[in-house]
């Protein structure tokens, strides 16, 4: 005889089966964002720093950040074009109010300095993008290591393609065929076969 427990929907498949469930930390992150992600009086969105629990104190990384800043300064002084691109980038950040002066620190107050470096996109050689390095470590600790990452909210590409094929309406079939053909024609090159002796 089959028990009622085995007849429950425990083993039924659903349309969301290709997505893993959220971890405890992901749920904590979402709860914090739901409660504290707000719009300020000027209309800007403000999010809290989602620290892990228990919260690990940040060591002082001032010396490391100064060293990285001096290396950046040396690099920009050697390359005047790169320096001009970097100054343009920083001017845009400040003009758009995407950055502001940090408030003065009280003695022994916890703080963390984000080192900055620049990268170029291969298709935009005349435009640099400044990157704040939140993975820079000091005494084995980085800003990334003490913050919750949050759940992956992007859709799985395979799931999107399968739902597209499944839900494709027959009237759109002719218009959608080029998309299907494009997906089918972009195959990776065949890898060499490897034989073990």
175: left (phi over 0), alpha (psi -120 to 50) or beta: alpha
- pLDDT per residue rounded down to tens, the chain (197 residues): 455 555 555 556 666 666 667 889 999 999 999 999 999 898 888 899 999 999 999 999 999 999 999 999 999 999 999 999 999 999 999 999 888 888 888 888 899 999 999 999 999 999 999 999 999 999 999 999 999 999 887 777 777 777 766 666 544 555 554 444 444 444 444 433 333 33
Within a 13 Å sphere around the CA of 137, how many CA atoms are in the beta-carbon half? 4
The residues spanned by each domain of the chain are 22-59+140-153, 62-137, 155-184
Computed over its alpha carbons, how large is the radius of gyration of the chain?
A: 25
Q: Is the dihedral of CA 138, 143, 146, 150 positive or negative?
A: negative
The pLDDT value given to residue 101: 83
pLDDT at 167: 63
The whole model's pTM is what? 0.66
Q: How far is CA 162 from CA 34, 166, 169, in A?
A: 31, 6, 13
Q: Do the bridges between strand 124-132 and strand 116-121 make them parallel or antiparallel, or are there none, so unpaired? A: antiparallel
* Beta-ladder partners of 119: 129
Q: Report the pLDDT value the prediction gives residue 44, as an integer from 0 to 100.
A: 83
DSSP annotation of 119: E
């Amino acid at each position: 005889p089959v028990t009622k427990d085995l007849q429950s929907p425990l083993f039924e498949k659903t349309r969301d089966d290709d997505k893993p469930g959220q971890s405890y930390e992901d749920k904590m992150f979402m709860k914090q964002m739901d409660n504290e992600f707000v719009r300020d009086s000027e209309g800007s969105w403000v999010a809290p720093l989602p620290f892990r629990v228990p919260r690990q104190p940040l060591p002082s990384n001032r010396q490391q950040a100064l060293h990285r800043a001096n290396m950046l300064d040396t690099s920009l002084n050697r390359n005047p074009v790169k320096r001009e691109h970097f100054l343009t980038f920083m001017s845009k950040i400040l003009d758009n109010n995407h950055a502001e002066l940090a408030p003065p620190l009280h003695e022994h107050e916890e703080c963390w300095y984000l080192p900055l470096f620049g990268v170029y996109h291969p298709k935009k050689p005349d435009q640099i993008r400044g990157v704040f390095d939140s993975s820079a470590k000091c005494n084995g600790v980085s800003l990334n290591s003490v913050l919750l990452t949050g759940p992956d909210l992007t859709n799985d590409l395979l799931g999107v393609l399968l739902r597209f094929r499944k839900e494709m309406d027959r009237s759109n079939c002719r218009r959608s065929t080029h998309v299907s053909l494009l997906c089918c024609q972009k195959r990776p090159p065949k890898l060499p076969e490897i034989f073990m002796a």
